[in-house]
Amino acid sequence: MEIKKYLIYLKELFIKKRFNYTPLSDDEYIQRFGVKIENGERVVEFKDKLEKAYTKAWENRDFEINKFWTRAAYFWGFIVLIFGGYLTLLTSEHNSKAYEMNLDLYLLLLGFLFSLSWYLVIRGSKGWQENWEAHIDLLEDLVSGPLYKTIHYRGNRFYSVSKLNEILALVIIFVWCGLFYNYASKLTYSLNIVKIDFQITLPIIVTIVITFVLRFGYCKGDYKSAKNKFFDRWKR
């Protein structure tokens, strides 16, 4: 049983199982917040409960936006530090010892993992922000009217800040990949198991494994339901 448990854990580590959840209709959703349906009309039965839910949705949306920039600063700091260390290593006159330790490779792989994590954090943060905005869209009609969902358009384009950061994160990932390609092109590598340089091979394999875990495994949510619908995460 213990072995089976660990095997399941390892499987979840690399490929996250996603559970199907039953979506809620708009009427089922709104009834959870003190609103009842009479003759096809929505009637507010518990106004305080509805307004508290609406206020909380706004607070959580604003929290996600604030945290978006806090997380961006966190990752930017580490990425700049790693990139600065890599450039210093390349331009230093006394870098032979660092090259013997493959420090340049470790910095490249670490920079790639931080950049990939930043990209995925942007995606996750955007997803939670959109979650709270969807709550606001459904609740506001009965509290303040359709203010948030009504947009005044002057003919100018609206640019998404989160999408701009998303593209920038992808660019930085490609930069790390380009630097790694430049590094790998200078290697004289052999597939002979006896001649394999494990000081280079093992960090690359570990990075590939971590990348897979970040993108498809442990770090991925287990929610799965109909698109653009709410669901109760306690009921599968």
Quick one: average pLDDT of 193-213? 83
Q: For position 191, what pLDDT does the model report?
A: 53
Tell me the pTM.
0.86
Least confident span in 4-8, 173-177, 201-205: 4-8
On whether the CB atoms of residues 122 and 166 are closer than 8 A, the answer is yes
Question: How far apart, in Å, do the first and last CA atoms of the chain sit?
Answer: 26
Where does the pLDDT of residue 206 fall: very low under 50, low under 70, confident under 90, or very high at 90 and above?
Answer: very high
Quick one: average pLDDT of 24-37? 89
Helices (H) and strands (E) in the chain, counts: 7, 6
User: Does 120 score more than 80 pLDDT?
Assistant: yes
How far apart are the C-alpha atoms of 129 and 123, rounded to whole Å?
10
Q: What is the DSSP string of 65-109?
A: HHHHHHHHHHHHHHHHHHHHHHHHHHH-SS-HHHHHTTHHHHHHH
Tens digits of residue pLDDT in 216-236: 888 888 888 888 889 988 876
**Angle, alpha carbons 165-167-172 (nearest 5°):** 90
User: Does 17 score more than 80 pLDDT?
Assistant: no
Least confident span in 23-27, 71-75, 183-187: 183-187
Q: For position 193, what pLDDT does the model report?
A: 55
Mean pLDDT across the chain, nearest whole number?
87
User: Does 65 score more than 90 pLDDT?
Assistant: yes
Where does the pLDDT of residue 100 fall: very low under 50, low under 70, confident under 90, or very high at 90 and above?
Answer: confident
Q: 79 versus 227: which is more confidently predicted? A: 79
Quick one: average pLDDT of 3-13? 68
Look at residue 197 and give its three-state secondary structure: coil
Q: For position 69, what pLDDT does the model report?
A: 92
Where does the pLDDT of residue 190 fall: very low under 50, low under 70, confident under 90, or very high at 90 and above?
Answer: low
Domain boundaries, the chain: 24-149+166-221
Q: For position 71, what pLDDT does the model report?
A: 92
